[in-house]
Amino acid sequence: MDQVSFSDIAIVACGTLSLELSHLQREGFLDARHIFYNTPGLHEVPKELERQLIYRINKAKEKADKVLVVYGGKFCYVNGDDPYRTMKKIIEEQGANVLRIDATHCMDMLASEEERERIAQEVAGGEKVWWMTPGWVKFRHYVFKGWDQGLANENFPRHTGGAIVLDGIGYIDRYMAERPEDFLEYSDWMGIPIQAYPITLDRLKSMLVAQANRLHNA
């Protein structure tokens, strides 16, 4: 993978991805001018997501001429009041020097649909899987804000393959070692087992590089 500088780019991202992006910063791969994070889990509150996104894009423009948005598309922003108002439209309204990573949601940034199908076959025998990233564990109370046990019971148990966390930073192993009771309680609340699947961050890196190159060549 070609190395590219992000030093003239400010990033606006969902807080759910802060673990991976911070890891890439520590690695020295992501030298962004600044990274702004929205509250995790705002896919449940599209109006607030849009408000925070536009606000932080404007803050990012104060730091750099080029802005890269790390959000998914149709699965991260669904406007029930105005179905024609999409993530794509919001980003287009922010100007030519604002681009979004080419992914449908945070899981897609870490593993493609084909990769997820392969993992589900390997780990869950092809059964339906509830996919998560480490941020869905760390920021559980944001991501599932307002969910009671009844709502959990309606949604999770149909995923007979359990929950799989696409973990490119070793977060789940540390979490289970440090907070085993919390991890078991989370699994009990969901009503399905949770397990980590180790991955690399190569897909996320390549997506970041692709849009950085587009910004540099605009």
pLDDT of residue 59: 98
pLDDT of residue 83: 85
pLDDT of residue 2: 65
pLDDT of residue 1: 58
* Helix-helix angle 180-190:171-178, to 10 degrees: 110
79-133 pLDDT tens trace: 888 888 999 999 999 999 999 999 999 999 999 999 999 999 999 999 999 999 9
Q: Does residue 59 sit in helix, strand or coil? A: helix
Would you state the torsion angle of the CA atoms of residues 11, 30, 32, 196, taken in this order, to the nearest 10 degrees?
30
CB 11 within 8 Å of CB 67: yes
CB 6 within 8 Å of CB 32: yes
pLDDT of residue 172: 97
Q: Does residue 201 sit in helix, strand or coil? A: coil
Q: Specify the fold of 9-107+201-217.
A: Rossmann fold (3.40.50)
Strand partners, 195: 164
Write out residues in the chain with pLDDT < 50, as ranges: none
Give CA–CA dist 15/145, Å, rounded.
Answer: 14
The token duo for 81 is 């009041």
Q: Give pTM, 2 decimals.
A: 0.94
The token duo for 68 is 């890269």
Give CA–CA dist 15/139, Å, rounded.
Answer: 9
CB 198 within 8 Å of CB 115: no
pLDDT of residue 75: 84
Q: Which of 141, 133, 126 is nearest to 197 (CA)?
A: 133
- Amino acid identity of residue 25, one-letter, is Q
Q: Does residue 124 sit in helix, strand or coil? A: helix
pLDDT of residue 43: 86
Q: Where are the domains of the chain?
A: 9-107+201-217, 112-198
Give CA–CA dist 133/196, Å, rounded.
Answer: 9
